[in-house]
Chain A
């Protein structure tokens, strides 16, 4: 008997009687989402900007980054300040990226997480390998909790997707918080609209 058959047979022999899946509705607050989003995001080390449009985002980024630094973005709106991201090429070639600019599909106010599916980054490694990350999110796409986020994601068949909340960090040395563990040292969130 293969290990697969052995394991499945042991589970069948030892499992308890069937217990039903719960069906619950979690109460939701709909007010003050943007304020909550900002408070939580800033609490975990992100910078939050509420902007009217793309031009304002560019202005803010141009103030912090030099044109000589490598900036990448899959967004056509940023073609004048960032190189595009080709899907098929070797992901190692992005090792020297200073700033990546991407768009999130959903924001979650309770924990400031942003849902970034693979299609929004072209290359999975982009939001991790860059030194700094900027994420745009449309104001009306911010929902209260992860429960609403997952109902928006629904049954979309992505290959990969990630919730990102704040910059990469660690507190492994004596519980001292240090931003910039392996991923981006900073996260800028632009709430657009």
Chain B
């Protein structure tokens, strides 16, 4: 539905897409409150560990070390993986990644596969690519399966169908899985999905998983799930493919002690995910592949102001806390990764297409405060704005507004005059600002203008 309307109205920007989400006020409120509840659970989990800040700082430093020596670690990882009997592939971009997956499928004459959660494959649009080539992919994470049946992308990296109400999911399951009409009990729906996906696990010969962490020292990779779907898929399949961005490397096995302590607590407030599976070698008779994907990451590594975004461990804490994300929904970001972190990753891939995202923020800084690896997210959002304006990727109106603002702030006398003029206008001619042409008026009441500015008050009081 969202996709059609988007095309129809020519809406491609965050603000326009957020308008669509905002039509249903009750749903927005529910979305907002639910994500805030998850954020509160994160706080509770974080505050229960006196060493929390030490863990964050250490994890951040480990990631800095990784980025500063990434070529060495990648080669070490490859060497170890090869010793472990794993085939290692390198993909420069999304296209090459998809081709590698397809070539493995073709080699084994497989045209049906299962896939557990992998934001990288969303980024690469793997499902669409394989569908075009006649391969059926079943997403096995419950939330991902739900959005797949709805023919929508996930709206959150950890909670893929957080934008959906259980009644809508019930309808989808009624159509696709044959549950009773009107059935919307989460327990019943989950059981139906369990039966349906169990059949998929037992019949598919190839399983693809994402990677949460890859250890250079041992060549093993760790996959975290609550449902057990990554394991059900890979332990039953003849072929296991693990796709990972090159930034997923960590130096040593013992470093997992830091990252696994931070990941689930930051994501959902759980002390750890139900399963933290360490894959080092294929099981007897199984074939295992790892695909190392660049797709713009090395470019981001070269951007001094933005390279720290590569420290991200995909916990989603920045989304749950973001006042804009909670009230605009994940789809309004029109990118595989939504929210604050998505908004600093996306412009690296395509500045023109994602020029709106760094502006979809109040710069309140809450994202940076909850980030388990201390990415300076809100600073980067601010810096992206400078870059995007300079490179000519923002609308002329926005650019003109920013120029006018810069001009005003640089001229103290004009600033004083403009402030006074604004107060007079708002007092005597409120309709000049309180109308639809002023985007700031949308969904807001304009404030009452104060009698005098701080500057005037200060002058008077100093006397």
- Residues of A bordering B, CB below 8 Å: 2-4, 6-8, 10-22, 24, 26-27, 40, 44, 87-88, 91-92, 95, 108, 110-113, 118, 123-125, 128-129, 145-147, 149-151, 153, 155, 157-176, 178, 180-184
Within 8 A of A (CB), among B271-314: 271-284, 292, 294, 298-299, 301-302, 304, 307
Interface residue SS majority, chain A: loop
Q: Is the CB of A150 within 8 A of B257?
A: yes
What chain B residues lie within 8 Å of A15 (beta carbons)? 67-71, 301
- Residue pair A27, B231 in contact (C-beta under 8 Å): no
B201 within 8 A of A: yes
Instruction: Categorize the interface residue count of chain B.
Output: 35 or more
A36: shortest Cβ distance to chain B, in Å? 10
Contact between A24 and B65 (Cβ–Cβ < 8 Å)?
no
* Binary flags per residue of B139-159, CB closer than 8 Å to A gives 1, else 0: 011110010000000000001
Residues of B in contact with A (beta carbons under 8 Å apart): 34, 37-38, 49-51, 54-55, 57-58, 61-62, 64-65, 67-71, 74-75, 84, 90-92, 96, 140-143, 146, 159-162, 165-166, 169, 186-187, 189-191, 194, 197-198, 201-202, 226-229, 231-232, 235-236, 246, 251, 253-254, 256-258, 260-261, 268, 270-284, 292, 294, 298-299, 301-302, 304, 307
Q: Contact between B231 and A170 (Cβ–Cβ < 8 Å)? A: no
Contacts of B51 in A (CB 8 A): 26-27
Please give, as numbers and ranges, the residues of chain B lying within 8 Å of A145 by CB-CB distance: 257, 261
Contact A172 B160 (CB under 8 A): yes
**CB within 8 Å: A-B pair count:** 242
From known contacts A8-B71, A172-B160, infer whether A159 and B280 are also in contact, taking CB-CB under 8 Å. yes
- Say how far B129's CB is from chain A's closest CB, in angstroms: 17
Given A15-B69, A16-B68, A113-B276, check contact A170 B226 (CB 8 Å): yes
User: Does B271 lie within 8 Å of A168, measured CB to CB?
Assistant: no
Known: A172-B146, A182-B197. A27 touches B50 (CB 8 A): yes
Cβ A14 vs Cβ B166 within 8 A: no
Q: Which residues from A are CB-within-8-Å of B232?
A: 125, 128-129, 182-183
Q: Which B residue's beta carbon lies closest to that of A46?
A: B274
Query: Contact at B69–A18, with CB atoms within 8 Å?
Result: yes
Pick from A19, A182, A183 the residue with the most CB of B within 10 Å: A182
